[in-house]
Amino acid sequence: MPMDRNDKKNTPPAYRRRIPAKKPMTGLSAFFIIVVVAAALFCVVAFSMLFTSLSSGGTNVNTPQTTLPPLVTDSPSESEEISTVSALITATDTTSKRIDLYDFNIEKSYIFYIDATTKLTDKYGKQLFLAAFSEGDIVKATFAKTANVLESLQMSPEAFVKKNVTDIKVSDDIITIGNDTFNYTNKLIARHNGNSFDITSAVDVDVFTFHGYGDTIWFAELTTGHGEITVNYRPDIIDAVLEIDNDIYTAVTENISVYVSEGKHRAIFRCKNIEPFIYDFTIEHSEIIPLDISAIEISGLNLNLTVVPEDSVVTIDGVLVRHSKAVYVPFGEHLLKAEKEGYEPFEKILAIQTGAEQDITIDLIKLPDPTPTPLPQISQPNATEKTESKKMTFNTTPSEAELFIDGLYVGLTPVANIAVAYGEHVFAYRKDGYTTMSVTFNVNDTSETVINANLQPVPGSSADEPIFQ
């Protein structure tokens, strides 16, 4: 029969469970429990304060802090708006991966950063590194409006780059390149060796690279600048020409300055009365180098001749000279002559020593008119005799010569259809400056009807054309 566990009185001692008696709590145990609880509460409070400080960006007031905008590297949500701009790169920093842009369409500046998610490409879509982008490049950038990390950066397919451009013209807001004109604004970046410069100071020898978009240039890089060569005019140096690198030729008729590209050059100073003066130099951008010709020694001067009559023949030391312009004459003694038919000849010894130029006037004295030499007379046929005639034509070279037949004046050549009787006649031709010509001619049935005569100039006359230097 199962035993009823509730009948404790009848339960044998072997089936009873022993329950130990409770010991009273001592003072040391209570103190230990209190310390543990307090320590736990202190740790909770300290951790809470530290977390609050870190999350609020707390700083030491004694140490200045530079706060950069937080980098947003997470991809934008589908609802976040993406913007695309065409802009000019105004600065880059590959260390911090920062890139500064100027949106010239809305005239707004941006600061962005590049991270591993940013897509960098050239204008054809080929991948690039950040180092390939630099100040002056025109790019197409995409970004989320709430982020400062670019989604993509591409070299703009619509932008243009013009390299090795020279001979530009710059006005207040226009740059002319050949036949093309472009606008520019005060936002134009102009650089030379990394430094800013004034685009309006450009000259024709400067070499440029231009970056632009549409009809506007936004970046100008001066790849080769210019310096300046100056020369002070000397009136005692004749027909001076400054030659630079066998390319630039400038007449030195006053104080001059010549722009040359920066670098090494050779200048040659040439004129009639000195030996060529050679000067090698290296010039930097904006540098001015004076070419000193004060010590050059001259060896002659210009002779300015005024001769009356103007068609007189003039020689110096037996050499014909063109006296209508200045004639260079070396220092020393020279024989000057002037002659013209019908005038007394002029002759003078010149002593050329110093000076830049010398003026000489020669006025030839006209001789009395000579007595004309009578033309040979030919007896005329007897008027009672029956005669026959032939119509004849007379030409001369040069024309307008006086024609005489048997001593009788007929007219100025050419003379046509003149009846000349059969028989012997003397045809004579006379013209100033040419030797008088006489020809005996027999007119008959078979003789020629056209007579041509070539007159010869008198030596030394205006008809005898001189050969000038």
Predicted confidence (pLDDT) per residue in 300-359, tens digit: 888 889 999 998 999 999 888 887 778 888 888 999 999 998 899 999 998 888 766 788
Segment 398-422 shows an average pLDDT of: 89
C-alpha to C-alpha distance for 460 and 466, rounded to whole angstroms: 8
Higher pLDDT, 373 or 48: 48
C-alpha to C-alpha distance for 192 and 73, rounded to whole angstroms: 37
Give the CATH number of domain 389-454.
2.60.40.1120
Q: What is the pLDDT of residues 99-115, one digit of tens each?
A: 999 999 999 999 999 99
Higher pLDDT, 385 or 35: 35
Higher pLDDT, 299 or 121: 121
User: Does the pLDDT at position 158 exceed 70?
Assistant: yes
Domain 82-155 and domain 159-224 have a common topology: yes
C-alpha to C-alpha distance for 190 and 178, rounded to whole angstroms: 20
C-alpha to C-alpha distance for 404 and 343, rounded to whole angstroms: 27
Amino acid at 333: E
Lowest mean pLDDT among 12-21, 169-178, 255-264, 392-401: 12-21
User: Does the pLDDT at position 234 exceed 80?
Assistant: yes
Tokens of 458: 């008198």
Higher pLDDT, 193 or 298: 193
Answer for the pair 423, 443: CB distance below 8 angstroms, yes or no.
yes
Segment 202-220 shows an average pLDDT of: 96
C-alpha to C-alpha distance for 275 and 278, rounded to whole angstroms: 9
Give the CATH number of domain 159-224.
2.40.50
CA 179 remoteness from chain centre: 14
User: Does the pLDDT at position 63 exceed 70?
Assistant: no
The band of 239, judged by pLDDT with boundaries at 50, 70 and 90, is confident
The band of 273, judged by pLDDT with boundaries at 50, 70 and 90, is confident
pLDDT in the model for residue 2 = 41
Q: Which of 82, 72, 88 is nearest to 143 (CA)?
A: 82
Give the CATH number of domain 226-291.
2.60.40
pLDDT in the model for residue 143 = 94
Q: How far is CA 147 from CA 103, 114, 143, in A?
A: 17, 11, 7
Structural domain boundaries in the chain: 82-155, 159-224, 226-291, 300-363, 389-454
Answer for the pair 396, 375: CB distance below 8 angstroms, yes or no.
no
User: Does the pLDDT at position 62 exceed 50?
Assistant: no
User: Does the pLDDT at position 57 exceed 60?
Assistant: no
**% of the chain at pLDDT higher than 70:** 78
pLDDT in the model for residue 25 = 52
Q: Under CATH, to which class is 82-155 assigned?
A: mainly beta
Backbone angles phi, psi at 52, to 5 degrees: -65, -40
User: Does the pLDDT at position 54 exceed 90?
Assistant: no
pLDDT in the model for residue 9 = 46
| pLDDT, averaged across the chain | 81
pLDDT in the model for residue 69 = 40
User: Does the pLDDT at position 455 exceed 80?
Assistant: yes
pLDDT in the model for residue 460 = 64
Per-residue burial over 306-345, b = 16 or more CB atoms within 10 Å of its CB, e = otherwise: ebeeeebbbbbeeeebebeebbbbeeeebebbbbbbebee
